[in-house]
Copies of this chain bind each other. A is one copy, B any other.
């Protein structure tokens, strides 16, 4: 069975503090990318007093370990989602209500190879997001 996130943290020499576990729990419960402020809100509701700074630092650390993925929808703040153990995918966001929907697909493998041949870059990442109007808002 695959290594859990907690195992990955231990392997990275990270400590499993109470705030850190609470932050991780919220990220793992969320099926859609969430913001640092949303994480902090949920922590407050769960009676776990964790400073905003601590959320920022943990999210940055989880990103470095490639356990969470940043998702930038140009809303003025970043979102984050667990990628460890989940399928690589993309999103669509409604310009009206802001709702985000997962697209369980990534059509970019062949295109990435094409771009690598054309540009001689070694590609190791990409961003693909769609925007539009959901059935309720259009």
Partner of A126, one of B74, B128, B133: B128
* CB pair B123 A126 closer than 8 Å: no
Task: Give every chain B residue within 8 A of A122 (Cβ-Cβ).
Answer: 132-133, 138
Partner of A127, one of B94, B127, B133, B138: B127
- The interface on chain A, measured as residues whose beta carbon lies within 8 A of the other chain's beta carbons, has a size of 33
Question: What residues make up the interface of A, taking CB atoms closer than 8 Å to B?
Answer: 70, 72, 74, 78, 92, 94-95, 101, 103, 107, 111-112, 115-116, 118-135, 138
Query: How many protomers of this protein does the assembly include?
Result: 2
| A124-B95 contact given A70-B74, A74-B72, A103-B119, CB 8 Å threshold | yes
* CB pair B120 A135 closer than 8 Å: yes
* CB pair A130 B120 closer than 8 Å: no
Task: Give every chain B residue within 8 A of A72 (Cβ-Cβ).
Answer: 72, 74
* CB pair A133 B124 closer than 8 Å: yes
| A131-B120 contact given A72-B74, A74-B70, A107-B111, CB 8 Å threshold | no
Q: How far is the CA of A115 from the CA of B78 in the complex (A)?
A: 24
